[in-house]
């Protein structure tokens, strides 16, 4: 099998549909072949994040100032893709060990997290639970819903709700943050239900403690000041309503794109029972090369999402190397090949079919 080969979707479906224990050969190979890949490279992180963010904001400005609607539209599309890429570094931040990239979290929050009103506290501590071996796919997983087993209308609703994401975040930080500091019961709701990028409606977040509480405080304050300032500037006429609407529209489109990516990040076929590591891997999705489009809708290593669940400590820039090594090493009947899919659309179709019939095919 060539390094870039992927298993056909129907074969992957059949493989993942079977209950199975852990593929020990896969787990052993994953550990042995990637030992030296765990160190993040600061130059890559900083260059990628800064280039993505600065290009995104420049294109926002072009979209606002352009006299030609076609120029404005083209700039807006580039802004969506680049700000989306910049925003997804929040995922890398949650996995970075303390001190691994000095200053990166602070820099990302100041340049991306606060202006997009999604500072890193919204994901830190939440995403780590999703990777806990005893939580994944259960009711205690804040990032899991059995979408393949739910009503068909939940899928379009899952995506459409992201359209209102920027407005919801604006309201959360401009209105609810200051009010919740004065009303303790409201604060419980804001922290428990409105302070995490989770999709499980049953999940309730605990209040932060220690150093994380201090990081949460300044990040939330920064996002609140930004949100209140944006509203004040629009109301006072300093920032035209059209400019603010374009910015909100671009961030909304980026959130929709992320929601579509989330829709196919897993197969969502678990009914709440605890799963083995291999079963968790098989419920997750890689969309590796040779396809190129996945690098746009699943950037910053997220096209290797299943591999990331297998090896969450590997930085995004090393995942392609790890994938090629495992593809070359593991036998064709290895579970590793079953989570490699070809493209976005077949995954969406599969999920829609599963939802329509109330579960995956046997």
Q: What is the pLDDT of residue 360?
A: 65
Average pLDDT by consecutive 10-residue portion of the chain (362 residues)?
A: 35 42 90 95 98 98 97 98 98 94 97 98 93 90 92 91 95 98 96 94 93 96 98 97 97 97 94 90 95 95 96 96 96 94 94 81 52
Q: What is the pLDDT of residue 96?
A: 95
Q: What is the pLDDT of residue 9?
A: 35
In Å, how far are 91, 142, 188, 231, 295 from 172, measured between CA atoms? Answer: 21, 19, 13, 13, 31
Are 118 and 194 in contact by the 8 Å Cβ rule? The answer is: no
- Per DSSP, the residues of 142-164 read TT---GGGS-TTHHHHHHHGGGG
Q: What is the pLDDT of residue 22?
A: 84
Q: What is the pLDDT of residue 10?
A: 37
Place of tokens 């680049």: 82
Give the rounded distance of the alpha carbon of 17 from its chain centre: 25
Q: What is the pLDDT of residue 362?
A: 47
Place of tokens 């629009």: 234
């Amino acid at each position: 099998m060539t390094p870039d080969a992927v298993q056909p979707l129907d074969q992957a479906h059949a493989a993942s549909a079977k209950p199975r224990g852990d593929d020990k050969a896969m787990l052993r190979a994953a550990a042995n072949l990637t030992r030296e890949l765990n160190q993040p490279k600061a130059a890559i992180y900083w260059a990628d994040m800064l280039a993505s963010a600065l290009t995104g904001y420049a294109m926002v400005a072009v979209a606002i100032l352009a006299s030609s609607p076609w120029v404005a539209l083209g700039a807006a599309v580039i802004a969506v893709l680049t700000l989306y890429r910049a925003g997804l570094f929040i995922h890398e931040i949650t996995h970075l060990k303390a001190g691994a990239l000095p200053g990166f979290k602070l820099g990302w929050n100041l340049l991306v997290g606060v202006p997009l009103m999604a500072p890193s506290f919204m994901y830190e501590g939440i995403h780590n639970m999703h990777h806990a071996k005893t939580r994944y796919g259960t009711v205690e997983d804040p990032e899991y819903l059995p979408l393949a087993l739910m009503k068909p209308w939940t899928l379009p609703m899952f995506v459409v709700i992201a359209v209102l994401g920027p407005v919801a975040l604006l309201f959360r930080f401009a209105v609810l943050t200051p009010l919740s500091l004065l009303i303790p019961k409201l604060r419980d709701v804001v922290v428990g239900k409105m302070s995490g990028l989770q999709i499980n409606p049953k999940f309730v977040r605990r209040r932060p403690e220690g150093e994380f509480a201090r990081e949460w405080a300044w990040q939330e304050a920064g996002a609140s000041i930004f949100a209140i300032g944006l509203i004040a500037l629009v109301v006072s006429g300093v920032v035209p309503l059209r400019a603010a609407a374009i910015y909100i529209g671009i961030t909304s489109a980026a959130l929709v794109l992320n929601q579509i990516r989330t829709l196919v990040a897993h197969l969502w076929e678990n009914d709440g029972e605890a799963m083995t590591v291999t079963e968790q891997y098989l419920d997750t999705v890689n969309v590796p090369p040779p396809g190129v489009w996945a690098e746009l809708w699943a950037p910053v290593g997220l096209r290797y999402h299943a591999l990331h669940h297998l090896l969450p400590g590997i930085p995004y820039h090393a995942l392609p190397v790890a994938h090629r090594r495992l593809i070359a090493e593991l036998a064709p009947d290895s579970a590793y090949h079953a989570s490699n899919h070809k493209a976005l659309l077949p995954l969406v179709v599969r999920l829609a079919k599963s939802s329509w019939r109330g579960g995956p095919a046997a």
